[in-house]
Amino acid sequence: MGELTLDLGAVLLLALGLKGLAKIRTARTANALAALALVLAVAGLLIQQGLDGWPWMLLGLAAGGGLGALLAYRVAMTAMPETVALFNGCGGMSSLLVAIGAVQLPSALSLVGQISVLASVVVGAITFSGSIVAMGKLQEWLGTPGWTLRPQRHAFNIATALACLACCVLVLKGFSLALLPLTVLSLLLGVGLTLPVGGADMPVVISLLNSYSGVAAAAAGFVVGSELLIVAGAMVGAAGLILTQVMCTAMNRSLTSVLFGGALGAAGSSTAGGESAKEEGYTNVTSCSPEECALTLEAAERVVFVPGYGLAVAQAQHSLKELARLLEQHGVAVSYAIHPVAGRMPGHMNVLLAEADVPYDQLIEMEVINPDFPRTDVVIVLGANDVVNPRAKSDPASPLYGMPVLEVDQARSVFVVKRSLGSGYAGIRNDLFELPQTSMVFGDAKQVLQGLIQELRALGVGKTAVAGASH
């Protein structure tokens, strides 16, 4: 009776936790509630089954929990996408191992139990290897090998999937040894599905893998006959799917095209072989020094920053905040325009800027800020590219066509901070760079921002505010 109460309490807390995580005011409490829910669930289970095998439990607790806590406290906020991917992969690995273990138990499994074992193994393995590949790509340990973008990869993936299916049939027929090749093949499938995806499509994959780990947990719930596991896994799976949908909508792409269409625009560019051709294509590009940019900024009343993955790579969030504070002291209205898929995971820019102590109410969503660009004096684009490309609206032939973008071309002047004129991740030409109101400021985002701060100080921007305040 006691364990049933604990289980029900845990489900209730999990539901409240998940709901609370969707609202800013309640999110932190909600996260704690969800953690408490898992503690209750463990208590309920231990009351039911006793402490048999406790040294092993303690071993798992010390190793896993200890390492998890260590990583969670020590990891830099800029490394958050790969950290989330790593945690996620480990959840999948756990479901995989549990399912393999459950087969070795003396008690025979029902047909549903067997199917659940297979689902848990396949989804768990895909989650694990997929997440590890995603982590490797985010850490830049792994690139996107050319062969993964060729159509043959579909043949590879389909063959692997069919082989998985064959192994599943064998297991159901009683050859439980086929679980071993099934595990290996599923791991390969996870690699094959994730390796070709990159760049701007990363947020979709990360949230999809997150959803998979929930599905794997639910499958493990069927294996061990735990309602709590099934409910919790199903909730996570559904939540992950919603987030995946939000990301796909933000790119105007279907989930299938992200998963099977390869990198955005890569189909054309890899065969036409034209990175250099594209770079040459730019004419009429104006570039300017931080000094000129600072002069324009000093005279502005309304400035909008557009952060992208380049800001995270350059770790320039603190410099950006410093520049913003300087401008605010000068009486400039500063805000940040956030595209839903800017960065490499859902909400990446929000976390990055929060770390630099930027208040979240200065971060404005695309739909809200777009009508404001015509009355914006200066837009500074920092390491973003495709999400500000006007072609997405004007050129039906562009692979970006239809993707909602930040309409920065409506602003009076635009500065694009970029290392070179190289095309963005997707290899698509950006018309913004050639507009008369656009100037390119070449350089590393952090160095350019530091340069701007110095130039503004030299113009007396910080000082006047201090002098004004002392009157």
Partner 1 sequence: MSTDLGSAEALWVLLLGSLLGLELIGKVPPTLHTPLMSGANAISGVTLLAALALIGAAPNPALRLLGAVALGFALFNVVGGFLVTDRMLAMFRRKGDN
Distance, CA of 153 to CA of 145 (rounded, Å): 11
According to CB under 8 A, which residues from 189 to 218 bind partner 1?
A: 206-207, 210, 213-214, 216-218
- Token digits of residue 426: 């997707």
DSSP 425: T
Residue 221 in the binding site for partner 1 (CB under 8 A):
yes
> How many residues belong to the site for partner 1 (CB under 8 A)?
114
Q: Hunting for tokens 């050319």 — which residue is that? A: 146
Give the residues across from 306 on adjacent strands: 381
Phi, psi of 193 (to 5 degrees): -80, -30
Residue 285 in the binding site for partner 1 (CB under 8 A):
no
- Token digits of residue 348: 């990446």
Residue 57 in the binding site for partner 1 (CB under 8 A):
yes
Nearest to 415 by CA among 385, 384, 445, 437: 437
Residue 43 in the binding site for partner 1 (CB under 8 A):
no
- Pick the stretch among 39-47, 145-153, 253-261, 275-283 that binds partner 1 (CB under 8 A): 39-47
Among 2, 5, 47, 49, the residue binding partner 1 under the rule CB under 8 A is 49
Give the residues across from 363 on adjacent strands: 336
Query: Which three-class secondary structure string do you get for 215-250?
Result: HHHHHHHHHHCCHHHHHHHHHHHHHHHHHHHHHHHH
Closest approach of partner 1 to the CB of residue 182, in Å = 17
- Pick the stretch among 92-100, 293-301, 319-327, 405-413 that binds partner 1 (CB under 8 A): 92-100
Among 362, 437, 447, 450, the residue binding partner 1 under the rule CB under 8 A is 362
According to CB under 8 A, which residues from 307 to 346 bind partner 1?
A: 338, 340, 345-346
Residue 383 in the binding site for partner 1 (CB under 8 A):
no
Among 15, 142, 259, 288, the residue binding partner 1 under the rule CB under 8 A is 15
Residue 183 in the binding site for partner 1 (CB under 8 A):
no
According to CB under 8 A, which residues from 225 to 264 bind partner 1?
A: 225-243, 246
Distance, CA of 82 to CA of 134 (rounded, Å): 7
Q: Hunting for tokens 């730019």 — which residue is that? A: 282
Is residue 414 a contact partner of residue 381, using CB atoms and an 8 Å limit?
Answer: yes
- Pick the stretch among 33-41, 261-269, 411-419, 440-448 that binds partner 1 (CB under 8 A): 33-41
Nearer to partner 1, 129 or 160 (CB): 129
- Active-site residues, by number, are 386
Residue 158 in the binding site for partner 1 (CB under 8 A):
no
Among 146, 151, 174, 359, the residue binding partner 1 under the rule CB under 8 A is 359
Distance, CA of 33 to CA of 20 (rounded, Å): 9
According to CB under 8 A, which residues from 98 to 157 bind partner 1?
A: 98, 100-102, 104-107, 110, 112
Is residue 439 a contact partner of residue 418, using CB atoms and an 8 Å limit?
Answer: no
Nearer to partner 1, 52 or 140 (CB): 52
Residue 180 in the binding site for partner 1 (CB under 8 A):
no
Is residue 304 a contact partner of residue 373, using CB atoms and an 8 Å limit?
Answer: yes
